[in-house]
Amino acid sequence: MKKKEYIQVKIIEKYNTDIDFTDRELISLLFYLGYLTIKNNELGISELGTPNDVISQETNCLTK
């Protein structure tokens, strides 16, 4: 069984094109596109992970 990895982040609701696009904006974009899903949410901080094995396999192929 493989280890599940999660990212903790406060999801961006509105993007500002006048500021730099950081990791936080990228993670939020991946969430809105369906590549990440909320696994846990406490005090406005979301714990995000891949929604299923198909997405996990796709993202692993892209990072190799």
Q: Does 12 map to a domain? A: yes
The confidence score (pLDDT) of residue 1 equals 38
Residue 1 lies in a domain: no
Structure confidence by residue, pLDDT tens digits, 39-48? 888 888 888 8
**Host domain of residue 13:** 7-63
Say if 46 falls within a structural domain. yes
pLDDT at 44: 81
Residues of the chain with pLDDT under 50: 1, 62, 64
The conformational region for residue 44 under phi > 0 = left, psi -120 to 50 = alpha, else beta, is left
Q: How many domains does the chain have?
A: 1
